[in-house]
Homo-oligomer: A and B are copies of this chain.
Amino acid sequence: MTSPAAPLTYDQAGVNYDLIDPLKITAQRAAAATATHLAGHGFSEVKASRGESAYVVDVGPFYLASIVECLGTKTLVADEMARLTGRSFFAGIAQDTIAMAVNDLITVGATPLVVQAYWAAGGSDWFGDAQRAQALVAGWKAACDTCQVAWGGGETPALAGIVEDGRIDLAASCTGLINPKERLSVGDKLGAGDAIVLLASSGIHANGLSLARKLAERLPQGYLTEIEPGLTYGEALLAPTALYSPVTEALWKAGIAPHYCANITGHGWRKLLRHPSSLTYRIHTVPPKTAVLEFIQQQAGQDDREAYSTLNMGAGFAIFVKAEDAERTAQVARDCGIGAWVAGTVEAGEKQLLIEPLDIRFSEDDLALR
Binding site for B on A (CB under 8 A): 14-17, 19-20, 22-24, 26-28, 30-31, 33-35, 37-38, 40-41, 43, 45, 50, 54-55, 57, 59-62, 64, 66-70, 72-73, 75-76, 111, 113-114, 116-118, 120, 123-125, 127-128, 133-134, 137-138, 140-141, 144-145, 148-164, 167-169, 171-173, 175, 177, 210
**What are the residues of chain B within 8 A of A156 when measuring CB–CB?**
20, 23-24, 27
Residue among B54, B138, B160, B162 making CB contact with A75, cutoff 8 Å: B162
**CA A185 – CA B55 in complex, angstroms?**
27
- Decide: A69 and B117 in contact? CB cutoff 8 A: no
**What are the residues of chain B within 8 A of A141 when measuring CB–CB?**
30-31, 33-34
- Decide: A150 and B37 in contact? CB cutoff 8 A: yes
CB distance from A318 to the nearest CB of B (A): 20
- Decide: B169 and A37 in contact? CB cutoff 8 A: no
Residue among B68, B120, B128, B137 making CB contact with A26, cutoff 8 Å: B137
**CA A123 – CA B73 in complex, angstroms?**
12
Given A30-B137, A171-B118, verify A158-B20 contact (CB < 8 Å): yes
**CA A344 – CA B338 in complex, angstroms?**
59
Q: What are 7 sample pairs from A and B whose C-beta atoms fall under 8 A apart? A: A14-B158, A19-B125, A20-B158, A57-B152, A72-B157, A120-B171, A169-B169
- The closest CB in chain B to the CB of A26 belongs to B137
Residue among B61, B151, B171 making CB contact with A30, cutoff 8 Å: B151
Given A15-B158, A113-B43, A120-B70, verify A149-B55 contact (CB < 8 Å): no
**CA A130 – CA B114 in complex, angstroms?**
35
- Decide: B173 and A169 in contact? CB cutoff 8 A: no
**CA A242 – CA B189 in complex, angstroms?**
43
- Decide: B134 and A26 in contact? CB cutoff 8 A: yes
- Decide: A169 and B158 in contact? CB cutoff 8 A: no
- Decide: A66 and B116 in contact? CB cutoff 8 A: yes
**What are the residues of chain B within 8 A of A34 when measuring CB–CB?**
141, 144-145, 149-151
**CA A15 – CA B159 in complex, angstroms?**
9
- Decide: A161 and B167 in contact? CB cutoff 8 A: yes
- Decide: B177 and A175 in contact? CB cutoff 8 A: no
- Decide: A152 and B14 in contact? CB cutoff 8 A: no
**CA A311 – CA B201 in complex, angstroms?**
48
Q: 20 more A-B contacts (CB under 8 A) besides A64-B113, A70-B155, A175-B175?
A: A16-B124, A19-B128, A20-B158, A26-B137, A27-B117, A31-B151, A34-B144, A37-B144, A40-B148, A41-B111, A55-B116, A67-B116, A67-B173, A68-B117, A68-B171, A161-B164, A162-B168, A169-B169, A171-B171, A173-B173
Residue among B23, B41, B169 making CB contact with A159, cutoff 8 Å: B169
**What are the residues of chain B within 8 A of A133 when measuring CB–CB?**
23, 26
- The closest CB in chain B to the CB of A43 belongs to B113
- Decide: B59 and A154 in contact? CB cutoff 8 A: no
- Decide: A160 and B60 in contact? CB cutoff 8 A: no
Given A20-B127, A113-B43, A151-B30, verify A163-B160 contact (CB < 8 Å): no
